[in-house]
Amino acid sequence: MPRPTYTIDDVPPKLARTAIDVQDACNPSGLIHALARAVTELHDHPNYSGTAWIRYHPIVLMFVEKLHDLAGRPGFAEYEKAYVLCRDAVETVPASARE
């Protein structure tokens, strides 16, 4: 699927300001909550056209890039270790105790 193209009309100024402001964030929890609010607002945008429109949106990109920065910009090796730890944590807990 090709990436959507965006114009200035697709970028609400209030959300753009928030996306710029969060570049100084140091708290992943607050950043994620702000991202959730931004995505909710983008869903209400008149030009919203589906998942790809949100996924590649410049505002979402700004938030995701900051999350990546706060995580220390891990590469695939770090991701693989995290995945294995999470997978093993799930597999060692009895199915009846999983939430």
Our count of domains for the chain comes to 1
Q: Residue 96: inside a domain, yes or no?
A: no
Domain that holds residue 63: 8-73
Q: Residue 15: inside a domain, yes or no?
A: yes
Q: Residue 23: inside a domain, yes or no?
A: yes
CA distances 98 to 22, 89, 91, Å, are 34, 10, 10
Q: Residue 22: inside a domain, yes or no?
A: yes
Q: Residue 39: inside a domain, yes or no?
A: yes
pTM, full prediction? 0.82
Q: Residue 98: inside a domain, yes or no?
A: no
Q: Residue 21: inside a domain, yes or no?
A: yes
pLDDT tens-digit map of 47-86: 999 999 999 999 999 999 999 999 888 888 888 999 898 8
Whole-angstrom distance, CA of residue 15 vs CA of residue 4: 19
Whole-angstrom distance, CA of residue 76 vs CA of residue 69: 15
